[in-house]
Amino acid sequence: MVKSLETPPVELLKPGVKAPVQETLLTPRFYTTDFDAVAKIDISAHEEEIRAIVEELKADYNRHHFVRDDEFKQSWDQIQGEKRLAFIDFLERSCTSEFSGFLLFKELSRRIKDSNPLLSEAFDYLARDEARHAGFLNKSMADFNLSLDLSYLTKNRTYTFFPLEWVIYTVYLSEKIGYWRYILVYRHMEKNPDFQFYPLFRKFESWCQDENRHGDFFKALLRSQPQLWNNWKARLWVRFFLLTVFATHTMTVFERANFYEILGVHPRKYNNQVIEETNKTAARAFPIILNTNHPYFFWYLEQCAINNQKIIELNNSKRGLIVKFFKKIPLMKNIVWYMLKLYLIKPINTEKTRQAVC
Ligand SMILES: [Fe+2]
Ligand SMILES: [Fe+2]
């Protein structure tokens, strides 16, 4: 069994409004980018494909999906203790990351309205979907007598600047990993309905199709920019982003192993499957993918997660700041060391096989 950390009790900003979790490297972040560079993107090489995806987004297949049907209208007081805290934590993290997507897409759409109308329209549809996702999760939090103050979050979170190229790589990956995270939980719940303790999971099948379409849009955008995949620098960046997304996922799943166990999901198997599937999917967009079949691949990732858990335990301990600082150094060094070992595992070239898998 994977050892997870205790879920902290709920802190309130004001009555009924949950205080956002402290920002760390692993909490969902808010992003901003170089909007002038986005305005100048030339998509002519893949314009037909992008127009087709925009038409799909416009069709809005999920416009009637995010409805709180009768199943939601009941008291959820029977969910108590560790289960309640772990579920609220899941809702909060998911809501924050969906809302982060909404803010970025909305701003992108607004800033390039006149200069790049087709992309502006696409980002507007993406923002529409993410707003729905975040809103639906926030309403689920209200079932537990809590909510997130999204306008407070908008004003008070730190915004991280990412150059446009990084935004394209990371948003593509986060949409595709989001797809696999949702669909694997959905399939598990379909086979094991006893674990379906709240109706949100039933919504995941159509929900994850939104994420899939968002990922496809970013794939087309990425492929329309040859400098993002046809040279050695791009291959090094792709390798880096695949690795950081997979390492972050592993650390988050291991840190919250109790939540996955509550769902009846084996955290290690779930993590490995999400990573393997996302990596395979990424072969459609990226010039290389990681070799998840390497005998040490998942073992190295787990070493990162174990060292991360020790850092969290240390942070939560009553030791003094200076002791914490010095005890953290070897743990951080270990994470960097295992990440480096992972980075050096020979990747798989996908350019030759892409046509076959598309
Ligand atoms: Fe979403
Ligand atoms: Fe999305």
Domain that holds residue 276: 229-357
Identify the three-state secondary structure at position 349. strand
Burial 59-88 (b: 16+ CB within 10 A, else e): eeebeeebeeeeeeeeeeeebeeebbbbbb
Q: What angle do CA 329, 255, 22 make, to 5 degrees?
A: 75
CA distance 112 to 121: 9
Same domain, 234 and 352: yes
Q: Does 181 map to a domain?
A: no
Q: Does 218 map to a domain?
A: no
Q: Which ligand is nearest to the CA of 94?
A: 1
Q: Which tokens hold the place of 337? A: 């060391």
The answer to whether 66 touches 136, Cβ cutoff 8 Å, is yes
Q: Which ligand is nearest to the CA of 133?
A: 1
Q: Does 19 map to a domain?
A: no
Same domain, 33 and 122: yes
Q: How far is the CA of 153 from the centre of ligand 2 (A)?
A: 19
Q: Does 108 map to a domain?
A: yes
Q: How far is the CA of 326 from the centre of ligand 2 (A)?
A: 39
Q: Which ligand is nearest to the CA of 132?
A: 1
User: Which one of 116, 145, 168 terminates a domain?
Assistant: 168
Distance from the Cα of residue 352 to its chain's centroid = 28
Q: How far is the CA of 181 from the centre of ligand 1 (A)?
A: 11
How many domains does the chain divide into?
2
User: Which one of 145, 168, 191 terminates a domain?
Assistant: 168
Same domain, 164 and 56: yes
pLDDT at 358: 45
Q: Which tokens hold the place of 162? A: 């990412």
Q: Which residues of the chain have pLDDT under 70?
A: 1-10, 20-26, 354-358
Cβ atoms within 10 A of the Cβ of 259, count? 21
Same domain, 45 and 162: yes
The answer to whether 240 touches 169, Cβ cutoff 8 Å, is no
- How far is the CA of 286 from the CAs of 131, 218, 339, in angstroms? 28, 11, 20
Q: How far is the CA of 129 from the centre of ligand 1 (A)?
A: 6
Q: How far is the CA of 314 from the centre of ligand 2 (A)?
A: 34
Same domain, 151 and 255: no
Q: Does 120 map to a domain?
A: yes
Same domain, 143 and 249: no
Same domain, 132 and 253: no
Q: Which of 267, 272, 287, 180 is nearest to 225 (CA)?
A: 287
CA distance 240 to 278: 15
pLDDT at 22: 62
Q: Which ligand is nearest to the CA of 207?
A: 1
Q: Does 301 map to a domain?
A: yes
Q: How far is the CA of 174 from the centre of ligand 2 (A)?
A: 8
Q: How far is the CA of 96 from the centre of ligand 1 (A)?
A: 10
Same domain, 147 and 280: no
Same domain, 146 and 256: no
pLDDT at 171: 97
Same domain, 28 and 141: yes
Identify the three-state secondary structure at position 27. coil
Residues that place a CB less than 5 A from ion ligand 1:
98, 130, 133
* Terminal C-alpha separation, the chain: 37
Q: Does 179 map to a domain?
A: no
Q: How far is the CA of 94 from the centre of ligand 1 (A)?
A: 9
User: Which one of 146, 168, 190 terminates a domain?
Assistant: 168
Q: Does 345 map to a domain?
A: yes
Q: How far is the CA of 192 from the centre of ligand 2 (A)?
A: 26
| DSSP H or E segment with residue 161 | strand 159-161
- Which is it for strands 348-349 and 288-289: parallel, antiparallel or unpaired? antiparallel
pTM here is 0.92
The predicted-structure confidence for 188-224, as pLDDT tens digits, reads as follows: 999 999 999 999 999 999 999 999 999 999 999 999 9
Same domain, 254 and 160: no
Same domain, 28 and 107: yes
